[in-house]
Amino acid sequence: MYLALIILPLLGSIVSGFFGRKVGVSGAQLITSSSVIVTTILAIIAFFEVGLNNIPVSIQLFRWIDSESLNVSWGFHFDSLTVSMLIPVLIVSSLVHIYSIGYMSHDPHNQRFFSYLSLFTFMMIILVTANNFLLMFVGWEGVGICSYLLVSFWFTRIAANQSSMSALLTNRVGDCFLTIGMFAILWSFGNNQIIIKDSNINKIKYTRTLPHRQVRHYSSKTCSQNIGSYLAGLIEGDGHIAVHDKNSKSKVYRPKIIIVFYINDRPLAERLSAVLKLGIVVSRSSAGHVLLQILAKEEVFKIINLINGHMRTPKIEALHRAIRWINEKDNSSIPCLGVDTSPLNSNSWLAGFTDAEGNFSITNRKKNSKLVRTNVQIFFRIEVKQNYSREVTSDQGGN
């Protein structure tokens, strides 16, 4: 549904623009107007699903730029703000399409006009739903070009040409400042993904790029939406954060993160790798486990930003060492946040730590007597290393 919401206006524009003679004036008007109206209906449905139920949805189509210093994908994010903006944009666009059927009825180039109009709607959707600044810039530029094409549609009129040039030059001023802002974000944070600020912990988190709907399927033991806290618990249970010596001669160091899974939990490791789009899963069959190795610079940086402020055990010292290394080598300013002291009740950290170190078991015991009785006991255990026990429980009142 969400992908259809994005591409329907584009399809209408293509049909009206490239096949306008075949479908005719009425066909072009019907196809473009219908596609925008259907898109509006889908946006209203998305508002009830995403906006009212607070279930963000992300779509990752493909990677656009994939390099060590810059990772950009064609991805779209629908949250409460996005769907709230889509509704007025698409309602107004639908009304403009319907009004233009009568207003442009005597123009011989109806198909071209409606193609521009639907293309304008498509670019507005890109601008509103893009999950990174570079893709948002594409939508911004598309809106500017479509505005120019629509204003100068009657290009034989001098007033139309003057107005279109004024609009185009005004948009170029906005382009300059938007470009400066993108480079400032890239220089400050090392990535151009759209970021939001979590006011509860006062730090930057890369949360808009995560498919929240899929986060709830990371494990059968958790349905938490807080992936940062979940990952922190998972890493503190069976994870390893280190800055190791890659080449002893040149003294080149780099951080790495490795999470260990039991061999039966390989689907969980593969899902984490696929959904977060990072790391590689390596089998260690002889040892009975698999590894999720996160070695790439930008991937380690992403995980660190997610778990920073959510750790509860002495492994936070290893995280701080990695952060200090990144700040020194990359001229970054990632804060070394302290131990998370929030209650464990309904906390996704506990779910991650349980996935790593906990287990559920059922014991069936039969008592020898005249009447055979079966005693069934259900256990939940978490194996905590001795030096971790006090750290984890001290801030929870011993619970």
Which tens digit of pLDDT belongs to each residue from 342-352? 877 657 888 88
Give the separation between CA 311 and CA 241, rounded to whole angstroms.
12
Q: Are strands 373-382 and 203-205 parallel, antiparallel or unpaired?
A: unpaired
Phi, psi torsion values for 334, nearest 5 degrees: -75, 125
Question: Is the distance from CB of 41 to CB of 18 less than 8 angstroms?
Answer: no
- Return the amino acid letter for 151: V
**Helix (H, G, I), strand (E, B), or coil: what is residue 66?**
strand
Q: Whose CA is closest to 358, among 337, 379, 343, 387?
A: 379
What is d(CA 62, CA 285) in angstroms, rounded to the nearest whole number? 32
β partners of residue 247:
252
Integer Cα distance of 50 and 85 in angstroms = 13
Structure tokens at 399: 């619970």
- Which residues have C-beta within 8 Å of that of residue 245, sequence separation ≥ 6? 251, 252, 253
What is the Cα–Cα distance from 155 to 150, expressed in whole angstroms?
A: 10
Query: What three-state secondary structure class fits 202?
Result: coil
d(CA 37, CA 35): 6
**Rg for the chain (alpha carbons), in Å?**
27
- CA separation, residue 219 to residues 128, 224, 227, 265, 349 (Å): 32, 10, 11, 9, 13
How far is 232 from 122, CA to CA, in rounded Å? 39
All residue ranges of the chain with pLDDT < 70 are 66-71, 189-225, 244-253, 285-286, 345-346, 359-399
Which phi and psi angles does 166 have, rounded to 5°? -65, -45
pLDDT of residue 126: 92
What DSSP letter does each residue of 271-282 carry, written as one string? HHHHHHT--EEE
pTM of the model: 0.49
Pair 280, 293: CB distance under 8 Å = yes
Query: By the 8 A CB rule, do 40 and 83 touch?
Result: no
Whether 259 and 269 have beta carbons less than 8 Å apart is answered as yes
Structure token pair of residue 93: 């666009």
Alpha helices in the chain (DSSP H): 2-18, 20-46, 80-103, 110-129, 133-151, 158-189, 212-215, 227-238, 266-276, 297-307, 316-330, 348-357, 386-394
